[in-house]
């Protein structure tokens, strides 16, 4: 499958992302409460919210949440299942959505950054991430860990994922080209139906992220390798960043 300029439009319109994304929404909120300084009623900006699972758990924990995503099927799902007086969902472009300095907390989760080859295109997402955040507001950001990928890289990964009383088979073929992690996915459902998808993410080092965030007034203060508070190193799969917007 060849690269697409906006591959994520197709990737995130299918239910198969339920299979390939590890949601852990309730556990993620607990992690954020332990790491950050969250108070009930705080306004939270969930950039690229998907189907709204994390936003819903934040709502249930007492925070006021705005979730935005480009995928209309995902936002339709979130509106139907999770809309409340404290949780709103907007179908729109996260690179341009702006409520300047409105939010106490900004979140970009589950590798929702780095889809472009060129840095200036990726940084458009980071610009609004910062602009929507109040001064001294907190942020949480998670993406792929390049240290882990370089040490544990597997070209082919086959998994069986529980699906009702049966299982779904996922087959991922990956490669690294020009600093991009590129993957072709094949999903085989119990009835034999198959779906394919392509995805890519630019692999930035922690040092590159620190510099990039600093350009937008964001200071990275803590790093983790997963939501169990494991260290950021070559043996844990995620790069999780926590910090504040400078005053």
pLDDT at residue 196, rounded to an integer: 86
Under 8 Å CB-to-CB from 128, ≥6 apart: which residues?
47, 94, 95, 96, 97, 98
pLDDT score at 22: 60
> Tell me: the pLDDT tens digits for 122-136?
999 999 999 999 999
How far is C-alpha 150 from the chain's CA centre? 21
pLDDT tens digits, 166-189 = 888 989 999 999 999 999 999 898
pLDDT of residue 176: 96
Burial of 160 (0-12, 13-18, 19+ CB in 10 A): exposed
pLDDT tens string 86-106? 999 999 999 999 999 999 999
Cα-trace Rg, the chain: 18
- At residue 18, the pLDDT reads 66
Give residue 161's pLDDT: 83
From the CB of residue 92, how many other CB atoms can be counted at a distance below 10 Å?
Answer: 12
Mean per-residue pLDDT over the chain, rounded: 92
pLDDT over 80 at 3, yes or no: no
pTM: 0.91
State the sign of the Cα–Cα–Cα–Cα dihedral 23, 60, 228, 66. Answer: positive
**pLDDT confidence bin for 15, thresholds 50/70/90:** low
Instruction: Write the pLDDT tens digit of every residue in 139-161.
Output: 999 999 999 999 999 999 998 88
Distances (CA, A) of 223 to 180, 192, 210, 232: 22, 42, 11, 6
Written as six digits, the tokens of 171 are 């087959």
Per-residue model confidence as pLDDT tens digits over 48-83: 999 999 999 999 999 999 999 998 989 999 999 999
CA distances (Å), origin 18, targets 138, 165, 189, 238: 28, 16, 13, 19
DSSP percent split of the chain into helix, strand, coil, nearest 5: 30, 35, 35
Taking CA 49 as the corner, what is the angle to CA 80 and CA 168, rounded to the nearest 5 degrees? 80
């Amino acid at each position: 499958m060849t690269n697409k300029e906006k591959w994520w439009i197709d990737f995130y319109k299918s239910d198969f992302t339920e299979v390939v994304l590890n949601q852990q929404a309730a556990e993620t909120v607990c992690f954020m409460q332990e790491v950050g300084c969250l108070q009930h009623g705080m306004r939270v900006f969930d950039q690229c919210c998907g189907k709204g699972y994390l936003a819903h758990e934040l709502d249930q924990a007492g925070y006021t949440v705005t979730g935005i995503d480009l995928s209309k099927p995902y936002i339709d799902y979130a509106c139907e299942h999770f809309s409340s007086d404290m949780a709103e969902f907007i179908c729109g472009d996260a690179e341009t959505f702006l409520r300047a300095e409105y939010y106490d907390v900004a979140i970009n989760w589950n590798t929702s950054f780095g889809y472009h080859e060129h840095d200036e295109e990726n940084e458009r997402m980071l610009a609004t991430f910062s602009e929507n955040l109040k001064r001294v507001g907190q942020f949480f950001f998670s993406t792929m860990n390049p240290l882990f990928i370089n040490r544990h890289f597997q070209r082919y990964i086959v998994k069986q994922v529980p699906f009702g009383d049966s299982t779904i088979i996922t087959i991922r073929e990956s490669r690294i080209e020009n600093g991009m992690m590129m993957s072709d996915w094949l999903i085989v459902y119990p009835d034999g139906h198959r779906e394919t998808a392509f995805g890519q993410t630019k692999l930035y080092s922690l040092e590159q992220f620190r510099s990039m965030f600093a350009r937008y007034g964001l200071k990275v203060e803590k790093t983790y390798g997963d939501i169990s508070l494991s260290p950021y190193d070559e043996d844990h799969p995620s790069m999780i960043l926590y910090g504040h917007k400078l005053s």
